[in-house]
Chains A and B, each alone.
Chain A
Amino acid sequence: MLIELQPRKEPNRLMLYLTPVIAVLATMLAGGILFTLIGHDGFGAVREIFITPLFDPHKWQDLGIKAAPLILIAVGLAIGFRANVWNIGAEGQYVVGGLAGTGIALATWGMEGWWILPLMCMVGALGGALYAAIPAFLKTRLQVNEILSSLMLTYVSIQLLYYLMRGPWKDPDGFNFPQSRLFTDSQLLPEIIPGTIVHLGVPLAFVIAIAAWFVLTKSVFGFQIRVVGAAPAAARYGGFSAKRTIWAAMLIGGAFAGLAGIFEAAGPFGQMVPQFPTGYGFTAIIVAFLGRLHPIGIILAGIILAVSYVGGEIAQTSLGLPNAAAGIFQAMMLFFLLATDILVKYRLVLGPSTKTGEAA
């Protein structure tokens, strides 16, 4: 008796939506075992990381502000991933977006006006898009692999941040600390729920995700993205330009990451600091996959990953779990999701194995 894999003619839709749930549950189980094995309270960790944040109303605002950038970046990345454009430098585009918006904030420092904040956000998105244009140009003109170029640019962007913080953009009244001036009221995202830290960027991220879903499923552009990714030959035959798709996917991904960057700078941070890159750009890759590259799925996945971030912080104080624990749980989710993908692509059949070439 062997389990045999029979390719499905079409991806199984039930499995497509069920596997992310299986992946999260498997992560809780395997993560609990793993952390117990290395000498921690494994299932206590699972409870604190995945359950506690959901049932503690004080933590809901944290979930919102953590989920917003993840969702925003992941929606942009998902558009690219669908078209087989592997922009994994969103972290760099997030940093450059934040820096570009900060540039406007510093240039308008001391001024007042309703126009300052929208301008900062627009320039932030533009900064992210321009930074993503570099790998897009290199890919379309010189066939340079966008995975490597976008990732290299992430490291470059962090050095740019350090340079600006230590040098030209250092707060002149900041006792020589490497950080920018504090943004003023005209430059900060307003709180939308008084008394909480939930800023305007949070609902905007959700609105943008839903708008993206609409564009992806209902427009010619969305169709083009899906065709170029799924059937490049058919796309060429249909007259869809692969290069234009690469450009569009990279620019949208960069713009969304840049927007997330300026939302963070003008929101939770309230200034620019060297600790600005927090890994959202990388975690958003997990969010995109866990959400099945679908904006609605991404909203759910973004909330799950936000839970793991907030829960990781809770577990740090309540169980003394290291900071890295949440990252391990997050990577495990992606592993399990990719592993269970086989249930989407293949049908498992129990039966005597016929002649097989591989012990696969």
Chain B
Amino acid sequence: MDLYNLTLHEIRDKIRSGEISAKEVLDSVYKRIEAVDGKIDAYLTLSKENAYEAAEAIDKRIAQGEKLGDLAGIPMAVKDNISTKGVKTTCASKILENYIPPFDAHVYEKLKEAGAILIGKTNLDEFAMGSSTENSAFKITRNPWDLERVPGGSSGGSAAAVAADEAFFSLGSDTGGSIRQPASLCGVVGFKPTYGAVSRYGLVAFGSSFDQIGPFTKDVEDCAIVLNYLYGHDERDSTSLQVEHGDFTQALNKDIKGMKIGLPKEYFEEGIDPEVKRLVLDGVKILEGLGAHVEEISLPYSKYALPVYYIAASAEASSNLARFDGVRYGYRAKEYSNLEDLYINSRSEGFGDEVKLRIMLGTYTLSSGYYDAYYNKALKVRRLIKQEFDKAFEKYDILISPTSPTTAFKIGERLDDQLAMYMSDICTVPINIAGIPAISIPCGLSNGLPVGMQIMSRALGEASIIKAAHAFERNTDFSKNKPTL
């Protein structure tokens, strides 16, 4: 077994014991990237020089007898919509093709402080708008399990990198499912925190009331470890929660006897692939076998989640992307005859089609005459969806559903079918609308392709999710499945 095949906690233990150096771990990862990323294209930018400098510093500190934390010397990948000072951050868009942030995102600052090492920046759907990473302005990323299929999106690069052992963990962002859905399609663990739990400072904003940054990892233990470093109040994000979150690894290795699990029937109905449904329900039976109580419930308003999302998130996006005007940073058009043309040409030439569509949709629903019919209505339904979840969590500890209605679809398959593409997120979007946390964990293979189980809980109910996810992982072998590359 090569070092790159191991999990974060296994590498951490080997570094701690002195068995290997941070430099050796990096060597292994970059060797792996050289061997497979030509086929997968998970990475947009590699930051080798900085990485080796950081590894050298870590190795020196260890040699001097310093006791370092869990992430010291652990190579990570970061989605390219998260600001990394001095390292190009493109959001997979022509409009930021050469943009180098002059500051670090909060999460990146914290992970660097903890000793994690940036391998490089990963590919995404442009400005995080998409479910397949096919909307990247630069290239597509391929699913390591089947190179003719998509890795999911929008954090496809981050998911594929972990699935292909090109990183020990990675960061993604989730606005409507963009961590969980690619995690499901790539057979890895993906976690979306409670809204406000992780600072969005430095995350290029898409839908500010939906966005959260979260990790992709090879198993649940690694996930709990990374979450410990991501969570926490940041005064630079005015939606950041001031809450003591405790140590998430305390939720590992726990008994789930008596845990109350709800299965919302709307998430298992039409549109869900029967094999996906079967594997998720088989997984639920395993949890039942471990002592959990399972009941079917109904969340009728979840049916309206996608329309709410495509109105509200697009509206927020139209506002957030107004800053890309060709003036202070990013792409500026070469030809323009006046200021207005400078804006129009820079934006029209710099943004991709899906981004422009969503900006226009958002602009339309916010405009005078339509605001009440669409945007305000969406906010009302948002309240109803959230209330429905709040009520469910009065009775249940966690709810379970499939993460994605299907396994990975073929590259190009949904590009011409707008609504089919949007439907990829039918099970994940309600979670962002309610602001609650959720994980996707591997629960089997269907025709050789990964299937993910989504476990959700109330706001700040992360411990219940980790407890259940880890219990499931301990009693199954799905986390050991790896693609052959």
- Co-assembled chains A and B: no
Where the two chains meet, the residues of B that have a C-beta atom closer than 8 Å to any C-beta of A are: none
